[in-house]
């Protein structure tokens, strides 16, 4: 079976994904979310807290790989999150050389505020979208992300 798809559609899909990633990665987006959540968190720490919550327990090397940043930078930022009481680190159960991070109760409260703020902001952006359209977008994005992670 030939799985080749229309080149123009693939170019447009790629352009849309790049635009989406670029927009999501703009510092002002994180600033707006942090402001909407009403939390005192440095913009550089926000993505790490969110990923520890999503993927934890997680080590520095894995977190650096997921964020596309240097592991020494991530290690320093993880220490800041730990000092703030937002994460806790412990030795991995599978590799004692690795210290894995999890979100603390205080960190979970902050994540809850961020998630509520994200939902409010999303509702403003998606105000004119029908439920069926959002459900379809969710389904296709999840499928795309899953297939991308497997390749």
C-alpha span between 31 and 40 (Å, rounded):
11
Interval 54-70 mean pLDDT: 93
pLDDT at 3: 67
* Position 1 pLDDT exceeds 60: no
pLDDT per residue over 65-118, tens digit each? 998 899 999 999 999 999 999 999 999 888 888 899 999 999 999 999 999 999
Element (H, E) at 102: strand 99-103
- Give the chain's mean pLDDT: 92
pLDDT at 2: 59
C-alpha atoms less than 13 angstroms from C-alpha of 117 in its C-beta half-sphere: 17
* pTM, 2 dp: 0.84
pLDDT-derived band of residue 25, with 50, 70 and 90 as boundaries? confident
């Amino acid at each position: 079976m030939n799985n080749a798809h229309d080149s123009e559609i693939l170019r447009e899909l790629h352009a849309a994904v790049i635009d989406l990633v670029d927009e999501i990665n703009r510092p002002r987006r994180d600033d707006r979310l942090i402001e909407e959540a009403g939390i005192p968190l440095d913009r550089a720490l926000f993505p790490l807290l969110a990923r520890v919550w999503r993927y934890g327990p997680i080590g520095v090397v894995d977190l650096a790989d997921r964020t596309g940043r240097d592991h020494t930078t991530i290690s320093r930022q993880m220490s800041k999150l730990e000092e703030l009481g937002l994460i806790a680190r412990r030795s991995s159960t599978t590799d004692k050389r690795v210290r894995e991070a999890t979100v603390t109760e205080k960190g979970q409260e902050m994540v809850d505020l961020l998630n509520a703020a994200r939902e409010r902001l999303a509702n403003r952006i998606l105000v004119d979208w029908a439920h069926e359209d959002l459900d379809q977008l969710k389904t296709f994005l999840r499928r795309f992300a899953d297939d991308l992670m497997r390749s």
